Structure 1
């Protein structure tokens, strides 16, 4: 039988205590559900930040070549690549980004798409790898859990929303309340729980803004939120400028269908059609001429060029470099060589440019090595927060129980928090729905099922 003292009763009557306990409980549940996913995001994200460095060291044998005289023509390189994979045709050509870089041709066959790395000087095939088996592509797919299907990918979207909740609630819990330490310093030693609590709180507080930024800028890739925001921006003339497509016939394909990599703003933009009448009277300009046209239009080195797969297809040149001012997509009529749509970064509306900038920073590409190291530090802070959270919980949990923070004494405090959740659910539906289910489970199931109530005590 427990005894409640007058002091405890007075504390329980204080609204601040109820609010603190409610937020602490939310913070705990959000962390408990997302720690495995956050660890995956941080580890794979750290690897992806240095994808170029990995390519230039671990896979240098297929990316780096020794310049030796005049390079072969793009068409010759594409023919060599197609011959390396029997029964295939070239579907895209990546122009070498420098004199010491290989040319990369994507070839398509009944077995799928294959990347063929070709030395542009002597025509030697350096390597072939399935487009879905390339190292950085696999890392990216594990990062989003898209490698394991649609449902796991949705869990990553929910995790992104929960990460923002963890930052906001964590800063509230960290906020100084007359404590002697744990604000900017760490008390105790690793043998004590307070050490891990302070390390967790201080790490989250100082890295919180960056973690929030990482979560927010990762949302455009999410299956539900990202796709719907992209569609909303486009329909309100805040995404890619749709008027550029008014004068050209459009196919059923979108940019991401024909290119190995498409910018977020234009990945759902329709691909124009070449002049259908010209299919009977003119010959295609060919890959060599298309590459020459793209270069003449000022495409930055390293651009990808999609090769038409039908009589009405177009050549699509696109480049997404570290310098966003050079980001550009050009659709070229395969018969006349005329640019049908020419879209550069400067033509994006403000919101479109802001989202692309956020994505570029998220990937460590915007301002050199400093950007990579800043995002790496953020990933390490996420890992440290997860580890310290686990240790802190392990040290405080009662034997045989989860050690969930207590429910707030004043249940009325949940009214205001429900309003906050509803607003959040409107902004991020998948994450908001998960939070609503979490609270319903906490308030309905746990409260009225005795075994669960004891386990979650």
Structure 2
């Protein structure tokens, strides 16, 4: 009986060791692929959290004006001043100043793309113009989504977001206390030693892990595959935008994401209504803006003009306080709201998703939200840099320094099973994982030169 018990303990320890090795190797490969992207996402995300503050300080020369006692000029006059500065341009969107010291931002459509003109609402002076593609926050946003790389780069970010969740889950397993005396809540050694960087990586990742996973998951609704599936689910279950509001409204074949300058996730796939009073004269921008104000829209709402004779004026705002998010489609001939929808009208899945997005962007709970998300971004950068330094200190000369293979193949069944589960939850990440595990097991393990290089 003693021999049997000892044998069982040995097998249990061996299985635990093999499982640890397998997950460590998987964690290493996932990190090696994801770390450069995670650092980019964290740096650009940190900047985007403070986009309004950056606008009001670095770019105050065009976004901030001196409050005056006189009434602001009509929106149409401000647009005319912008058109005078940009001959031949047409209006794409008018953003309300939002306060006594804010400038009006007027989007102007030109042959070279959209240009933002910032106009003093009291004097009509054009304070500055900048191409939308060159506006600072737009550049940061495009870097964050890898839009500069190409249309399919969004899928790379989606795969990396899934990897971030995998790294958190596998990292927590590796961090879990196993009789070690440090590296759980404290950092051992000094920066000259590998253990210092190992503990920095582990402790930072463990304590920020839930928030890192939240950032990854709350960013996925904007992705192509995962986000597209979420939109389909919301539409099919009636938990997205309230489609019933369009039941008695004539609609065009265009959706909001293509017709509006700025649109939230929930409203992207909603159809654009059509105006139905073409025998009358259009109401014009001034009346459309006045309707939006009379309806109590939150400051800094944006009005998109109709694209043609059947289109509508659309006033939309997606403010820091999610409860005030609102979209109103206004008949361009009668001035009557055709569809008026706010956050309270969204379905349950849309409400949850929008809340996650708002927190992700540092908007919902003011400065505390911004600082919490900033701390999470800093944790991502710190943990990633610590992982790289730890690897470089551990890596043998001329080799990759990959964690060792398990001594037994028994754990690979469970590993494949985990890969399949993650593949179902995160399709693009799952495909990359399956490819990664297959190459490791079927190629690297069986080709001696590769096996030595990756040792």
Q: Which moved more, 1:387-396 or 1:248-257?
A: 248-257
Distance 2:249 2:288 in 1: 19
Q: Do the aligned partners of 2:175 and 2:202 also contact (CA within 8 Å) in 1?
A: yes
CA RMSD after TM alignment = 1.6
| Kept in 2: contact 1:13–1:410 (CA 8 A) | no
Counterparts of 2:374 and 2:17 in 1: how far apart (Å)? 36
1:354-375 CA-partner distances (Å, limit 9, x unpaired) = 1101111111111111111111
8 Å CA contact 1:49–1:364 kept in 2: the answer is: yes
Report the equivalent of 1:3.
none
Paired residues of 2:92 and 2:261 also in contact (CA < 8 A): no
Distance in 1, matches of 2:83 and 2:436, equals 53
- Give the corresponding residue for 2:286: 288
Deviation at 1:10, TM superposition (A): 5.3
CA distance in 2, matches of 1:321, 1:262: 12
Q: What is the distance in 2 between the residues matched to 1:147 and 1:260?
A: 19
Contact 1:66–1:100 (CA under 8 A) maintained in structure 2: yes
Structure 1 residue aligned with 2:375: 377
Matched, 1:46 2:51: no
Q: Give how far 1:109 is off.
A: 2.3
CA deviation profile, 1:235-280 (whole Å, cap 9, x unmatched): 22111111111111212222222333211111121111111xx22x
Alignment of 1:136-285 (within 5 A): 136-275=137-276, 278-279=277-278, 281-285=279-283
Q: How much has 1:194 moved relative to structure 2?
A: 1.0
Q: Give the 3-state SS of the residue equivalent to 2:374 in structure 1.
A: helix
Q: Which residue of 2 aligns with 1:395?
A: 393
* Offset from partner CA, 1:284-330 (integer Å, 9 cap, x none): 11111111111111111110000112100100010000011100011
Q: CA–CA distance in 1 between the matches of 2:145 and 2:385?
A: 21
1:125 CA drift (Å): 0.5
**Does the alignment pair 1:21 with 2:21?**
yes
Q: Which runs of 5+ in 2 are unaligned?
A: 1-6
Q: With the length of structure 1 as denominator, give the TM-score of the two structures.
A: 0.95
**Is 1:105 equivalent to 2:136 in the alignment?**
no
C-alpha distance in structure 1 between counterparts of 2:12 and 2:393, whole Å: 25
| Residue 11 of structure 1, CA deviation | 7.5
TM-score, L = length of structure 2: 0.96
Distance 1:224 1:78 in 2: 39
Shift of 1:84: 1.6
- Once residues 93 and 76 of structure 1 are traced to their aligned partners in structure 2, the CA distance between those partners, rounded to angstroms, is 12
Whether the 8 Å contact between 1:12 and 1:410 is mirrored in structure 2 is: no
Aligned residues: 448
Return the alpha-carbon distance in structure 2 between the equivalents of residues 454 and 293 of structure 1: 71
Q: Write the distance in 1 (CA, Å) between the matches of 2:114 and 2:274.
A: 23
Moved more, 174-183 or 79-88: 79-88
| CA 1:186–1:408: 2 relative to 1, 3 Å | same
Q: Any idea what the Cα deviations from partners look like across 1:215-252, whole Å, max 9, x if unmatched?
A: 11011111221122112211221111111111112122
The CA deviation at 1:13 is 6.7
Distance 1:317 1:42 in 2: 32
State the SS of the aligned residue for 1:343.
strand
- Report the Cα distance in structure 1 between the residues aligned to 2:153 and 2:221, rounded to whole angstroms: 16
Shift in Å at residue 87 of structure 1?
1.1
- Matched ranges for 1:437-452 at <5 A: 437-452=435-450
| Partner SS state of residue 152, structure 2 | helix
Equivalent residue runs for 1:399-414 within 5 Å: 399-414=397-412
Q: Mind listing any 5+ residue stretches in structure 1 that lack a counterpart?
A: 1-6
